[in-house]
Amino acid sequence: MVDGHTTLYGFIAHPARHSMSPLIHNMAFNELGLNSVYLAFDVQTAEIEPIFKSMRAMEIGGFNLSMPFKQTVLPHLDSLSDTARKLGAVNTVVNDHGFLTGYSTDGDGFIAALAHENVDVIGKHVTVLGAGGAAKSIVLALVKANSGKVTVFKRNNDSFAEVKKEMTGWGDQVSVVPFDDEAALENAIKDSDIVVNGTNVGMAGDNHFPLTPSQLANLHPDQVVFDAIYFPLVTPLLEVAKQKGCHVMNGTGMLVFQAAAAFKLWTGMNMPIDSVMNAVKKEVANRQK
């Protein structure tokens, strides 16, 4: 029941109404008996400064952030976690009596999602498709988790050299290769223990693959194939990987575990993972109908 003691948390993005975060956090608050509520706020870029002033003044507990605010909010924060500083982006803000700290929990969510399915990354060769925000978080998390070789494939555009310098600076095991080097990508797929799709290719309404037919042919049963997309639950890539006998994972686990990491930062409590995960999968399935 909402009353004068209820703590407010929220999701700030544009657009924001599609977010699964209110379902996730409100379910966790209810199950744990916490007097808190989580709302989604569709915010224009020009409104972000007054929102953060309000967060301090009203003692709002914290926010999650998505595009286009993961980087633009940085000047409004008092402190950043080490991970957020390296990524230059945040997805979670904690308000400690007016002192705002930014965190990035996406990478933690990825590692935790793998661990939840008994997948260990230590010493493993991981190929990551894409070098956007989610993919960067995954790569940095892999380095921190002592993975083996991490081969990142990125479009050979104007930002290639800058992103390559940034990501290879995180660890000697990271290499960044142009996506159009099809032979290198084919070999990386063949040699990898884990293949990660960090691109948007395969989202609902998109029946394309992030890999060519010859690259898909190199998937094999000893691999884990992880697609950060969770809508749909089974992407074209995961469908083929499943046929190849791979251990397939969609993005629902990463979604829930990154939320759980934010929840822990806010409340100090563990999110009830299993019930939240089931609710998220059910909601995504309903939205696919």
Instruction: Say if residue 134 carries a ligand binding annotation.
Output: yes
Instruction: Say if residue 91 carries a ligand binding annotation.
Output: yes
Instruction: Say if residue 158 carries a ligand binding annotation.
Output: no
Residues 6+ apart with CB under 8 A from 204: 231, 232, 288
Whether 143 contacts 173, CB under 8 Å: yes
Instruction: Say if residue 243 carries a ligand binding annotation.
Output: no
Distances in Å between the Cα of 46 and the Cα atoms of 19, 61, 73, 171, 280 are 21, 22, 11, 37, 32
Instruction: Say if residue 33 carries a ligand binding annotation.
Output: no
Whether 132 contacts 198, CB under 8 Å: yes
Instruction: Say if residue 278 carries a ligand binding annotation.
Output: no
Nearest to 93 by CA among 130, 124, 66, 128: 66
Instruction: Say if residue 30 carries a ligand binding annotation.
Output: no
What is the Cα–Cα distance from 273 to 260, expressed in whole angstroms? Answer: 8
Instruction: Say if residue 21 carries a ligand binding annotation.
Output: yes
HSE value, Cβ hemisphere, 13 Å, CA-based, for 113: 29
Nearest to 114 by CA among 80, 142, 72, 148: 142
- Residues designated as active site: 70
How would you classify residue 205: left for phi > 0, otherwise alpha for psi between -120 and 50, otherwise beta? left
What is the Cα–Cα distance from 155 to 163, expressed in whole angstroms? Answer: 10
Between strands 92-96 and 99-103, the pairing is antiparallel
**Residue 19 is encoded by which pair of tokens?**
């977010």
Instruction: Say if residue 228 carries a ligand binding annotation.
Output: yes
Nearest to 137 by CA among 193, 88, 102, 94: 88
**Residue 121 is encoded by which pair of tokens?**
């990354």
Instruction: Say if residue 206 carries a ligand binding annotation.
Output: no
Whether 54 contacts 78, CB under 8 Å: no
Binding-site members for shikimate are 19-21, 66, 91, 106, 230, 258
Residue list, annotated binding site: 19-21, 66, 82, 91, 106, 130-134, 228, 230, 251, 258
